[in-house]
Amino acid sequence: MFRPVQQEKPPTQAKPAALAKPAIRPAQPSPRIGDGFAPIAFALVKGPADACGPGCDSWIAAEGKIDGSAAARFRKFMKQIGDRKLPIYFNSPGGNLEQALAIGTMLRERKAAVRVGRTTLRECGFEPQEGDVCTRLKLSARELHGEVWTRGAMCNSACPYIILGGTTREVGPDATLAVHSPRVILNFTGGVPTREMRAQALQQAMARSDRMVLDHLIKLGADPALLTAARSVPFESMRVLTREEIVRFAIDRRDRVESPWMFEAANRGIAYKTILARKDGETSFGTTRFQLVCFDQNRFELDVERNAPSGSGRASLAIVGGDLRLNFLSPPRRSGGRETWGVFLDGGQVRALASTRTAELTDGPSNLARPDGAPFPVASEGLQSALKMLTDTCPPAKAATQPVIAPVPWQQVPWPQASAR
């Protein structure tokens, strides 16, 4: 597409020499993805202890569309915070490619730790987090307070090129990265261009865009195949990167990615976590999801959803931590290559699980007294605070009654779908 310069007299056919240098504005978010996002704002946020990882309670929130002055604002913001080494969480639908590359370069110069996450500010109260009130708060340069989440966070379009600037790059197991081809807006002067002029200018602009991205990828040590993946998708669409692609393109090379336990109030309170992992020699990642719900303050259910192991004979699953051992109900519920196990806990058992630094999932044949499967570690980071918030939403404990036998429906809170729209 092109945007003609307004003329005071009837236009004449443009001469080739009159073609201005096309302005590249790739990766502007499509309406379905970008609606509701203000220009990207940077804010210093303080949260509870360990809110952004062990020993980390402060971070930089980068939220919104990457507009034409984003790099200048980011440079000014980083000058204001000085030499503080804080992780930066991006939540962006994308935007201006040249600005994204500039921000990525600045991050590399600062040897920054970059992650994908969405920040909710307490100061916003009941105002929308992407609304004008919150945006003004983020632009105020004052320290704010809030929480950071990976579930539902996005880094789309031009945003992944920013993430590559970090010397430490972390993409949570429940965050979304998506790419597509750039959009180029051509500005012509001197008259109305012919169809051939438009095609030639567009080709030149796209080639320049590709060179910029390729140089950026090579400079930051990323796989140029990321550009190939992006160019395979038209601007109007999005390609959500799989975890295998995120590793292969060197955006986040970890073979195991584990979210902390988080609390979320949906139809009912729920504590949840997600683990993506692959074993040595394997190419594909397996997804293991946990959810903890309560019936009252002394009765809980822990569900584990995972890929069903290949082969037959494994018919037991247990979670072990310290002196605690819990055997899941057998057989599990199975659907579409996935299986879900459940176990009931009382208040003492769930508190014991939360106090254990790392528990382990173990499985094995039903005819063995001890499991023979390789232990699958499960960190309890965040579980104590999530459990407190979950318990606060539960009704008081009741007198002893018959055990609850109906499993709690899975996915009280929707999981991210394989689409950026």
Query: Which tens digit of pLDDT belongs to each residue from 141-193?
Result: 889 999 999 999 999 999 999 999 999 999 999 999 999 998 776 666 667 77
Cβ-proximal residues to 89 (8 Å cutoff; 6+ apart), any chain:
52, 59, 60, 61, 62, 115, 116, 117, 118, 119, 148, 153
Q: Are 129 and 45 contacting, i.e. CB atoms less than 8 angstroms apart?
A: no
Predicted pLDDT of residue 11: 33
Both tokens assigned to 400: 């002893």
Spatial distance between the Cα atoms of 395 and 405, rounded to a whole number of angstroms = 19
Both tokens assigned to 266: 């949906």
Return the CATH class of domain 256-392: mainly beta
Predicted pLDDT of residue 399: 66
Torsion region of 39: left, alpha or beta (phi above 0 gives left; psi -120 to 50 gives alpha): beta
Predicted pLDDT of residue 365: 56
Predicted pLDDT of residue 36: 58
Residue 360: CB atoms within 10 Å: 16
Task: Parse the chain into domains and list their residue ranges.
Answer: 27-180+221-248, 256-392
Predicted pLDDT of residue 101: 97
pLDDT in tens, 24-51: 334 333 333 345 578 999 999 999 998 9
Predicted pLDDT of residue 401: 55
Spatial distance between the Cα atoms of 48 and 51, rounded to a whole number of angstroms = 5
Question: Mean pLDDT across the chain, nearest whole number?
Answer: 83
Q: Identify the segments of the chain with pLDDT beneath 50.
A: 1-34, 366-372, 402, 405, 411-421
Torsion of CA 94, 99, 103, 106, to 10 degrees: 170
Predicted pLDDT of residue 373: 57
